[in-house]
Structure 1
Amino acid sequence: MTATTSFTGDANPYGGGDPYADYRTADLPFTRYVDLADRRLGGAVVAANDEFFAQRENLLLPGPAEFDPERFGHKGKIMDGWETRRRRGADADRPWPAADDHDWALVRLGAPGVIRGIVVDTAHFRGNYPQAVSVEGASVAGAPSPDELLGGDVKWTTLVPRTPVGGHAANGFPVATEQRFTHLRVNQHPDGGIARLRVHGEVVPDPGWLAVLGAFDVVALENGGRVEDASDLFYSPAVHTIQPGRSRKMDDGWETRRRRDRGNDWIRYRLAAQARIRALEIDTAYLKGNSAGWASVSVKDGDAGPWTEILPRTRLQPDTNHRFVLPEPAVGTHARVDIYPDGGISRLRLFGSLTEEGASRLTARHQELGG
């Protein structure tokens, strides 16, 4: 994902043709982290003080915002984002909004964790974007209601101070707060519209919940697994392979370009913590003519440990979920799937449980981050 880090000011009026033609962008390093607010992980916009023109839920829709210049409703222009009405002052002598006037939305992260950066995307909001935005974070256990989140006993930490933003631009904000958050409060000053919100960071799971589960998918994104690197990201991100649920279409998995050499493609993962793996799944759902021909899986214990193959190179079938029970449990902190020679898989599942050392380290980090 790309975004502008410093542009503020007016966007050009829509001139017809490609609605993204003047969409200003620049690279943001933190976007390599997963979106903690992703709807597929359970993220949601649970409340907003105003959504007169466009619904708050649009903030977390996957994919870029769309724009139809001829689409209007009975309230006005229909925008693909969250848009509030224009604020007014107290009376005719003071028609302008007060300095502290603002609109807000409450966001529940699908996967609580440490936030590394936030993108407030105002795509297609050219004359109706907010003058500034701010973002706060909180860590609240359970499933609090909006009223509970707005109560006086919830501590909110400023992640993005009130900062001017640009119209029709993806405004990026690095975050350096080492704390585990479950909810965000997104403020726009004084009013206006935001197309998309992306909250990039590292998942920090609840070790108590994982302990109760016993056996679980130790590489799953929602359980704290993550992709460290991959040989090829030409068609789709490797992180798709550890998303919740089965793939729903071809680009919901990982697919590489066609190799023209004698090599092979691969993904390297970090597990939730040191774990004892007992079974695995490799799914090629919706990859029919592009499925990997063969795959192998290896694990290693520690950053410097040697790789040990736990699944030898095995023939894969297109559009099929393959299940394997290991003859002996394998202990490790990292995993690697190699596909031969190229193609793709949709999901990788590694079923097992945390070792005593893994559980201890995960609990210590959870406590350190205020979980």
Structure 2
Amino acid sequence: MTAIENFTGDARPYGGGDPYADYRTAGFPFTHHADLADRRLGAGVIAANDEFFAPRENLLLPGRAEFDPERFGHKGKVMDGWETRRRRGTSAGHPWPAEEDHDWALIRLGVPGIVRGIVVDTAHFRGNHPQAVSVEGASVAGHPSPEELLADGVRWTTLVPRTPVGGHAANGFAVTAGQRFTHLRLRQHPDGGIARLRVYGEVVPDPAWLTALGTFDVVALENGGRVEDASDRFYSPATNTIRPGRSLKMDDGWETRRRRDQGHDWIRYRLVAQARIRALEIDTAYLKGNSAGWAAVSVKDGATGDVTGGSGSGSGSGGDGWREILPRTRLQPDTGHRFVLPDPVTATHARVDIYPDGGISRLRLFGTLTDAGTTTLTAHHQEL
């Protein structure tokens, strides 16, 4: 694996123009995973010891941090992030913070899961970022309060040890702890500001909850579904198609660049586990002049075989074990399209093919887990 680039030290003071022109970032190998701390999945910053200059909730806002050089409030410069006051020492003889001094924030993940990577983004915090950060994870059932999370007896696992970070930079960390976490504790040493926190990983749902639901969306991100691959991610990520709720604006769906050949675009998904699909929905909300013209949906039961074949060509029927459950069908712009299958279809994977290009905002596959799917999901949950 290629080493992740590290950034340390202050950035240069803002000199005008595009504030992101000198922003330091790198390509991180884990960002294809879902952001488990996405506010749109229900994540929240439930407590922090200090948020004097800027509120903790900014950490999980979607989109990159904004900077207005002219915006000041009665406490000072208004920053789009979480910023604490400057720490001081204990006396005139020792005015500096102690080595162990730090500020902290507690984050409830939107969905529990295995963390594969973390980005601590200090965008626009050029000389007022923390010197170092650290991150811990815990798995606590139910809906614990901050006091319960901080109580003795809660086991916290180090995900990112105390590590120097840079100002005005995307500081990325690969995580190797293969456990299921529900909450994180972010520490900044000794104080300062962080613009955004991103927590990339794999959703691990509670099988008891899904079993109780009976019929549910078996490809939804919050239930453990995920995108495995896609032909094009030019305008927006394919993962948007399995996010909660309806799309609220055009870039909240999946849109491809304009094709100039005779091909088509597609997304391949892994379901939460083996399931029987009974109905599906394709939504093109807010895609008006750029929605897909036609779409087809295929599934495959890949419990004992490869599922990658055929992803880039054809409608999915027949070859490589893919079974077409919705033939190529005309789509309308800005419309929800619902289809009831004549008979349930067993699958572990699904694929949507759009013709020739354009986009869809959401794909929903409604079904129930098979006995084998429930067994697999339960075993995976228990081992984590």
Q: Is the TM value for this pair above 0.5? A: yes
User: In 2, Cα distance between the equivalents of 1:298 and 1:205?
Assistant: 24
User: In 2, Cα distance between the equivalents of 1:171 and 1:185?
Assistant: 17
Q: Which residue of 2 aligns with 1:368?
A: 383
Q: Which residue of 1 aligns with 2:306?
A: 304
Are residue 104 (structure 1) and residue 131 (structure 2) matched? no
Deviation at 1:304, TM superposition (A): 2.3
Are residue 320 (structure 1) and residue 329 (structure 2) matched? no
Which segments of 5 or more consecutive residues in structure 2 lack a partner in the other structure? 308-320
Q: Which residue of 2 aligns with 1:255?
A: 255
Stretch deviating more after TM superposition (4-13 or 216-225): 4-13
Q: Which residue of 2 aligns with 1:91?
A: 91
What amino acid is aligned across from residue 330 of structure 2 in structure 1? Answer: R
1:68-217 equivalences under 5 Å are 68-217=68-217
Deviation digits for residues 188-226 of structure 1, max 9, x if unmatched? 000000000000000000000000000000000000000
Checking the alignment, whether the CA contact within 8 Å between 2:113 and 2:180 is kept in structure 1 is: yes
What amino acid is aligned across from residue 34 of structure 1 in structure 2? Answer: A
Deviation digits for residues 290-315 of structure 1, max 9, x if unmatched? 11111110000114261000111111
What amino acid is aligned across from residue 24 of structure 2 in structure 1? Answer: R
What amino acid is aligned across from residue 142 of structure 2 in structure 1? Answer: G
Deviation at 1:41, TM superposition (A): 0.3
Deviation at 1:24, TM superposition (A): 1.2
User: For 1:352, which of 367, 377, 380 is the aligned residue?
Assistant: 367
What amino acid is aligned across from residue 113 of structure 1 in structure 2? Answer: G
User: In 1, Cα distance between the equivalents of 2:72 and 2:235?
Assistant: 35
User: For 1:342, which of 321, 339, 357 is the aligned residue?
Assistant: 357
Deviation digits for residues 246-302 of structure 1, max 9, x if unmatched? 000111101111111111111000000000000000001011111111111000011
Checking the alignment, whether the CA contact within 8 Å between 1:4 and 1:171 is kept in structure 2 is: no
Checking the alignment, whether the CA contact within 8 Å between 2:136 and 2:159 is kept in structure 1 is: yes
Q: Which residue of 2 aligns with 1:30?
A: 30
Q: Which residue of 1 aligns with 2:346?
A: 331
Stretch deviating more after TM superposition (301-310 or 97-106): 301-310
What amino acid is aligned across from residue 177 of structure 2 in structure 1? Answer: T
Deviation digits for residues 67-119 of structure 1, max 9, x if unmatched? 11111100001100000000001111111111100000000000110000000
1:7-18 equivalences under 5 Å are 7-18=7-18
Which secondary structure state, in structure 1, belongs to the residue aligned with residue 337 of structure 2? strand
Q: Which residue of 2 aligns with 1:44?
A: 44
Q: Which residue of 2 aligns with 1:67?
A: 67
User: In 1, Cα distance between the equivalents of 2:196 and 2:7?
Assistant: 17
Deviation at 1:4, TM superposition (A): 6.9
Task: Give the alignment's TM-score, normalised by structure 2.
Answer: 0.94
Deviation at 1:342, TM superposition (A): 0.9
Q: Which residue of 1 aligns with 2:276?
A: 276
Checking the alignment, whether the CA contact within 8 Å between 2:282 and 2:336 is kept in structure 1 is: yes
Task: Give the alignment's TM-score, normalised by structure 1.
Answer: 0.98
Checking the alignment, whether the CA contact within 8 Å between 1:4 and 1:25 is kept in structure 2 is: no
Deviation at 1:26, TM superposition (A): 1.4
What amino acid is aligned across from residue 355 of structure 2 in structure 1? Answer: Y
Q: Which residue of 2 aligns with 1:223?
A: 223
User: In 1, Cα distance between the equivalents of 2:381 and 2:279?
Assistant: 27
Which secondary structure state, in structure 2, belongs to the residue aligned with residue 31 of structure 1? coil
Q: Which residue of 1 aligns with 2:58?
A: 58
Aligned residues: 367
Which secondary structure state, in structure 1, belongs to the residue aligned with residue 134 of structure 2? strand
Deviation at 1:5, TM superposition (A): 2.9
Deviation digits for residues 119-148 of structure 1, max 9, x if unmatched? 000000011000000000000011111111
Deviation digits for residues 149-186 of structure 1, max 9, x if unmatched? 11112110000000000000000000000000000000
User: In 2, Cα distance between the equivalents of 1:349 and 1:133?
Assistant: 39
**Aligned sequence identity (%):** 81
Q: CA RMSD in A?
A: 1.0
Which secondary structure state, in structure 1, belongs to the residue aligned with residue 280 of structure 2? strand
User: In 2, Cα distance between the equivalents of 1:319 and 1:167?
Assistant: 42
Q: After TM superposition, where is structure 1 displaced by more than 2 Å over at least 4 residues in a row? A: none
What amino acid is aligned across from residue 329 of structure 1 in structure 2? Answer: P
Which segments of 5 or more consecutive residues in structure 1 lack a partner in the other structure? none
Deviation at 1:244, TM superposition (A): 0.1
What amino acid is aligned across from residue 330 of structure 1 in structure 2? Answer: V
